[in-house]
């Protein structure tokens, strides 16, 4: 059995895939191998899974980028909602809105007020056009009625470096990446993108607490199989994966990666994916976002 990760090693989907695969193998009584197939924002690996034989021997560990791509890429050769059989959630990841310490705003409300003043442009970085970090800020702009200048980078390293040096003003970062910089005084946190405050940053308000209702931008992770995978196979895989993710071991390991292990029924993940597809398509259309 293979678990396809449509992204490079070391990211969230890869960590989750390897954690689960190691523990899934003895439960199924067969080898479970993780295969990274990165490229085109996850589209290359996702297409391979969509076209794989629906026999339960190929599954995918992915993230909400899967449904974001539906509105970012024209002529996508697969449908992220109808061409997969969801197996269930695997984790949630939180993004936190941070600013360089020299930025005047200390709260989200102050940031919005400054942006509406329009006397000077406000910039923000992202790891690239169409990434969750970018779309999170696009959602914030839409919800608050502001316009910021997007500075896309080819990956997170350069974006974070320029944020730390003050070349750009703001960015959404995964909470485990941002926390160490915040605690060291190199960045300041304005709001977390989750529905509730995070234990890593208990004093930082949520976007909702800061005045933006229904604007949480948490990243969800999940497992998928090709469409047509038999229901009994889906149910078996769901049960085994849920048992792995519900363990104390998973909680400890995931927290070190800034993730919160999560489980769900296949139907619940299907609902989340379908809803998020519409949500992000609306943001992409309103902001006129196109992949580079």
Q: Tell me, what's the pLDDT at 74?
A: 85
- Give the pLDDT of residue 290: 85
How far is the C-alpha of 243 from the C-alpha of 156, rounded, in Å? 33
User: How far from chain centre, in Å, is Cα 63?
Assistant: 5
123-126 and 170-174 strand pairing: parallel
Domain 2-92+219-287 = CATH 3.40.190.150: yes
For residues 127 and 160, give the distance between their C-alpha atoms in angstroms, rounded to a whole number.
9
Phi, psi (deg, nearest 5) at residue 206: -80, 170
| Packing angle of the helix pair 156-165, 175-183 (nearest 10 deg) | 20
Question: Once rounded to an integer, what is the mean pLDDT over residues 248-266?
Answer: 95
Number of other residues whose CB lies within 10 A of the CB of residue 74: 7
Q: Could you tell me the pLDDT band of residue 208, with boundaries at 50, 70 and 90?
A: very high
Of 97, 86, 92, the closest CA to residue 219 belongs to 92
pLDDT value for 258:
87
Which pair of tokens denotes residue 191? 């709001």
Question: Looking at the predicted structure, is the pLDDT value of residue 292 above 70?
Answer: no
Name the strands in the sheet holding 95-99, side by side, starting at the edge strand that comes first in the sequence: 149-152, 123-126, 170-174, 95-99, 188-192
Question: Distance between the two ends of the chain, CA-based, in angstroms?
Answer: 35
Angle at 10 between CA 179 and CA 88, to 5 degrees: 90
Query: What share of the chain has pLDDT > 70, as a percent?
Result: 99
Q: In the prediction, which pLDDT does 140 show? A: 95
Q: In whole numbers, what is the pLDDT of the chain averaged over residues?
A: 94
Name which of 193, 199, 213, 208 is nearest 134 in CA terms: 193
pLDDT digits (tens, 9 = 90+) for 105-159: 999 999 999 999 876 789 999 999 999 999 999 999 999 999 999 999 988 889 9
* Domain boundaries of the chain, sorted by first residue: 2-92+219-287, 95-192
Share of the chain above pLDDT 90, in %: 83
| Domain 95-192 classification at class level | alpha beta
Distance CA 269, CA 275 (A): 10
Asked if 2-92+219-287 and 95-192 have one fold, the answer is yes
Predicted confidence at residue 18, as pLDDT, reads 98
Q: pLDDT tens across 21-45, in order?
A: 999 999 999 999 999 999 988 999 9
Q: Please say if the pLDDT value at position 69 is more than 90.
A: yes
Mean pLDDT of 240-246: 98
pLDDT at 256 over 80: yes
* Mean pLDDT lowest among 193-202, 225-234, 241-250, 272-281: 193-202
């Amino acid at each position: 059995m293979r678990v396809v990760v449509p992204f490079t090693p070391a990211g969230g989907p890869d960590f989750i895939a390897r954690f689960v695969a190691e523990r899934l193998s003895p439960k199924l009584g067969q080898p479970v191998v993780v295969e990274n197939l990165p490229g085109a924002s996850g589209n290359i690996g996702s297409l391979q899974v969509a076209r794989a034989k629906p026999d339960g021997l190929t599954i995918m560990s992915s993230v909400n980028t899967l449904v974001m791509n539906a509105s970012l890429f024209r002529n996508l050769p697969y449908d992220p909602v109808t061409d997969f059989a969801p197996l269930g959630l695997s984790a949630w990841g939180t993004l936190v809105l941070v600013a360089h310490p020299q930025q005047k705003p200390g709260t989200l409300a102050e940031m919005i007020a400054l942006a509406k003043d329009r006397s000077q442009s406000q910039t923000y970085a992202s790891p690239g056009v169409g990434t969750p970090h970018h779309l999170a800020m696009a959602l914030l702009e839409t919800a608050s009625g502001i316009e910021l200048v997007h500075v896309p980078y080819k990956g997170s390293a350069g974006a974070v470096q320029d944020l730390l040096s003050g070349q750009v003003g703001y960015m959404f970062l995964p909470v485990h990446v941002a926390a160490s910089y915040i605690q060291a005084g190199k960045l300041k946190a304005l709001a977390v993108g989750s529905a509730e405050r995070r234990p890593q940053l208990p004093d930082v308000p949520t976007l909702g607490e800061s005045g933006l209702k229904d604007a949480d931008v948490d990243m969800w992770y999940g497992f998928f199989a090709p469409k047509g995978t038999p229901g009994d196979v889906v149910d078996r895989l769901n049960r085994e994966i849920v048992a792995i993710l519900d363990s104390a071991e998973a909680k400890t390991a995931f927290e070190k990666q800034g993730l919160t292990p999560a489980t769900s029924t296949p139907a619940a993940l299907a609902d989340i994916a379908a809803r998020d597809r519409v949500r992000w398509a609306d943001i992409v259309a309103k902001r006129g976002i196109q992949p580079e």
